[in-house]
Homo-oligomer: A and B are copies of this chain.
């Protein structure tokens, strides 16, 4: 159940081979690197989201970047402390869906699941656009083609995932480490500078800072806070993956969680300090992170390394949704909340339906946003906060029911988390409603309703199928096999052999149209048939039009009505040509007959291929 609870970006850990030994498991340090990818990646768009909101109030507004970031860091601290408790309480991998299922009932757990689904999808779109933005910041001439670049990255990731990759949390350690070290270097070097060493990257780009606005209202600050909260996505990943840590699991996971909070907090605050110190002005086409790298390290190889590291980290972050969402959909399908195809694995061991669904919706979001991260960020974070709130609320009930030592303190901490994240959810939704958050407000309940509808339909189907009850014992019915024929050949002979082997009674049928040419053909067939003498009656089925499907289906219906106890099978012989291209030579009569019989009758359809070698 661990993955159903995981945040977009977590490696699907239930896919891990069960025989993995203890020494392959994660320590606090490797766990931090392996599981913090998404959280770290979000510093690529979180600070930018704050700056863009504040830029509406001009240079004066931008001065509030640090205070807003500090508020977000405070929320981060509470969240990390809360999740430290979740780890202790759900050492098998807790998370919003699991906590909600245990303590808050099915409906709430479905809300948690729906918010997870939305965030998985948005994570792909946001990470891809932000990754491409990192690239186009380094190579401005690609800026005009950013939508195509985004779609190309999406196609690449989708293709890789359709082929099936052996993914492992460990593969993420190196890129995450490189990115975090780059960021920390950037911040450290920047703190020693009093002014930007270079503003090359932003040169020639249009500033988006308002000229005349100087008032900074509470609403603007709330909006900046809400936008910046997108930087908090991913902090629950470690709590979801406790079983993959080395023993003592909970302890190590808690250490990793705290370290994650500390590193993320340092990066956020550090970047905010640099933004204020360098009086950074957001411009169109160059990310804030790129400008900071430029200002701090100069427009040299270090700048390009940071852009590449950022892009690769974001692409990996998008990729993790492809690992996570299909597994979530599979678990929902197993619980009968989604069509069972999502639980089906293709031959390559991938959940093809899940991967393709995710790719299609992400592509739609990319086109809708025109490849622009900041159009998508308002949709993000709502789902995350809904999940946070549900998990924290469930934890309060958990402590209340358990009433272990110091339960009140623990419940209060999680309660504080629930209140803060709940308020944040409301703030994010309210301040960004018109910027696209309404889409999530509409989609979330629709998704929950869809889960419920599918669940009810499966329940009814299961009822009709008598699932869970012992069915009647099978019995032998009289069996009649109908074979459509149009000419005499080895195929006819093969089909009749199969038919007499299967049926107590066999009838060959041939469709006869009214026009003279056709009638002559049928009469010739009947003469040949009589000469051949296969011991099977040839029945002539009249037809007014030149189709064979409907007349045969009508004949089958007649027999079904006249002989209710008999099992009718329509045996359709087909030629399997020697070469693949010769398939186009097949006349599709078999398919036409099968389609009509399937639509209009209850007969079983048996297709027999005669291989030409």
* Bound Cα distance from A582 to B461, whole angstroms: 10
Partner-contacting stretch, out of A27-35, A171-179, A495-503? A495-503
Q: Are B502 and A585 in contact (CB under 8 A)?
A: no
Among residues of B, the one whose C-beta sits closest to the C-beta of A503 is B502
19 more contacts with CB within 8 A, not counting A339-B586, A340-B586, A497-B567, are: A18-B516, A339-B585, A341-B584, A344-B592, A347-B550, A461-B585, A464-B612, A465-B575, A465-B612, A466-B490, A471-B489, A471-B490, A471-B532, A474-B497, A479-B502, A498-B567, A498-B569, A498-B604, A602-B611
A549 at the interface (CB under 8 A from B): yes
Q: Are A471 and B498 in contact (CB under 8 A)?
A: no
CB contacts under 8 Å to B, within A453-496, are 454, 457-458, 461, 464-467, 470-479, 487-493, 496
Taking a contact as CB atoms closer than 8 A, the residue among B349, B487, B489, B586 that contacts A546 in the complex is B349
Taking a contact as CB atoms closer than 8 A, the residue among B341, B532, B605 that contacts A588 in the complex is B341
* Bound Cα distance from A467 to B612, whole angstroms: 13
Q: Are B349 and A589 in contact (CB under 8 A)?
A: no
* Bound Cα distance from A545 to B164, whole angstroms: 13
Taking a contact as CB atoms closer than 8 A, the residue among B501, B577, B605, B610 that contacts A476 in the complex is B501
Partner-contacting stretch, out of A56-64, A131-139, A533-541? A533-541
A608 at the interface (CB under 8 A from B): yes
Q: Are A489 and B467 in contact (CB under 8 A)?
A: yes
CB contacts under 8 Å to B, within A569-613, are 569, 571, 575, 577, 582, 584-589, 592, 598, 602, 604-612
Q: Are A345 and B546 in contact (CB under 8 A)?
A: yes
* Chain A residues bordering chain B, tally (CB within 8 A): 81
* Bound Cα distance from A499 to B536, whole angstroms: 22
* Bound Cα distance from A473 to B488, whole angstroms: 11
Given A347-B549, A347-B550, A501-B567, A474 and B496 contact (CB-CB distance below 8 Å): yes
A343 at the interface (CB under 8 A from B): yes
Interchain nearest-CB distance for A607 vs B (Å):
5
Taking a contact as CB atoms closer than 8 A, the residue among B490, B532, B604 that contacts A608 in the complex is B604
A547 at the interface (CB under 8 A from B): yes
* Bound Cα distance from A503 to B500, whole angstroms: 11
Q: Write out the residue numbers on chain B whose beta carbons fall within 8 Å of the beta carbon of A488.
A: 470-471
Interchain nearest-CB distance for A149 vs B (Å):
26
Taking a contact as CB atoms closer than 8 A, the residue among B497, B502, B536, B547 that contacts A502 in the complex is B502
Q: Are A490 and B472 in contact (CB under 8 A)?
A: yes
* Bound Cα distance from A12 to B216, whole angstroms: 77
* Bound Cα distance from A340 to B516, whole angstroms: 21
Q: Are A500 and B471 in contact (CB under 8 A)?
A: no
Q: Are A493 and B474 in contact (CB under 8 A)?
A: yes
Interface flags for A332-357 (1: CB within 8 Å of B; 0: not) read 00000001110111110100000000
